Amino acid sequence: MIIVRDVAIEAGARTLLEGASFAVQPGMKIGLVGRNGAGKTTLLRTLARETEPADGTITWHGGIGYLSQEAELPEHEPDVTALERILTARAIGTIQRQMEEVRRKMAISEGDELDRLIAKFSRLDSEFEAKGGYVAEAEAKRFGASLGISNEDLTQTVATMSGGQRRRVELARILFADTDVLLLDEPTNHLDLDAKDWLMRYLGSYKGGLLVISHDLPLLDEAITSVLALENGKIEAYSGNYSHYLEERDERRSQRIRERKHQMETIDRLEEGIRRFKGSTEKMAKRARSWETRVEKLRADLVEVEALGKTVALKFSQPEPSGRIPMRAEGLAKAFGDNVVFVDVDVVVDRGERLILMGLNGAGKTTLLRILAKVEGADIGEVEYGTKVSLGYYAQEHEQIHDGVTVLDHLRAVSGEPAQTLRTLLGHFLLADKVDQDAGTLSGGEKTKLALAQLVAGRHNVLLLDEPTNNLDPQAKDALLAALRHYSGTLILVSHDIEFVEELEPDRAVLMPDGETRFFDESMLELVAMA
- Pairing type for strands 209-213 and 181-185 reads parallel
Domain count, the chain: 1
- Return the pLDDT at 530: 65
The reply to whether 508 falls in a domain is yes
The reply to whether 90 falls in a domain is no
Alpha-carbon distance of 91 to 105, in angstroms, equals: 23
Largest CA distance in the chain: 116
The reply to whether 43 falls in a domain is no
- Return the pLDDT at 97: 75
Cβ(260)–Cβ(303) below 8 Å: yes
- Return the pLDDT at 77: 64
Residue 403 burial (CB count, 10 A) = 8
**pTM of the entire predicted model:** 0.69
CATH of residue 484: 3.40.50.300
From the list 264, 265, 226, 260, the residue with the least C-alpha distance to 242 is: 226
Helix H, strand E, coil C: the string for 205-250 is: HCCCEEEEECCCHHHHHHHCCEEEEEECCEEEEEECCHHHHHHHHH
From the list 478, 480, 475, the residue with the least C-alpha distance to 309 is: 475
Which positions ≥6 away from 182 have C-beta within 8 Å? 65, 67, 174, 175, 203, 206, 208, 209, 210, 211, 212
Cβ(314)–Cβ(429) below 8 Å: yes
The reply to whether 20 falls in a domain is no
The reply to whether 260 falls in a domain is no
| Domain membership of residue 354 as a residue range | 327-530
- Return the pLDDT at 360: 82
pLDDT tens, the chain, 531 aa long:
999 999 999 877 778 888 999 999 999 999 998 887 788 888 999 999 988 999 999 999 988 999 987 766 555 566 788 888 888 887 676 777 788 888 888 888 888 888 888 888 888 888 877 777 778 888 889 999 999 888 888 888 888 887 778 889 999 999 998 899 999 998 988 888 888 889 999 998 899 999 999 888 778 888 889 999 998 888 989 999 888 888 888 888 778 788 888 888 888 888 888 887 776 777 777 777 788 888 888 788 777 766 555 677 777 778 889 999 999 999 999 998 778 889 999 999 999 999 999 988 778 899 999 999 999 999 999 999 999 999 999 988 788 888 889 999 999 998 888 889 888 888 888 888 888 888 888 887 888 889 988 988 888 999 999 988 887 877 788 888 888 988 999 999 999 888 899 999 999 999 999 999 999 988 888 778 666
3-state secondary structure of 115: helix
The reply to whether 244 falls in a domain is no
Residues constituting the chain: 531
The reply to whether 23 falls in a domain is no
The reply to whether 462 falls in a domain is yes
- Return the pLDDT at 479: 86
Alpha-carbon distance of 40 to 46, in angstroms, equals: 10
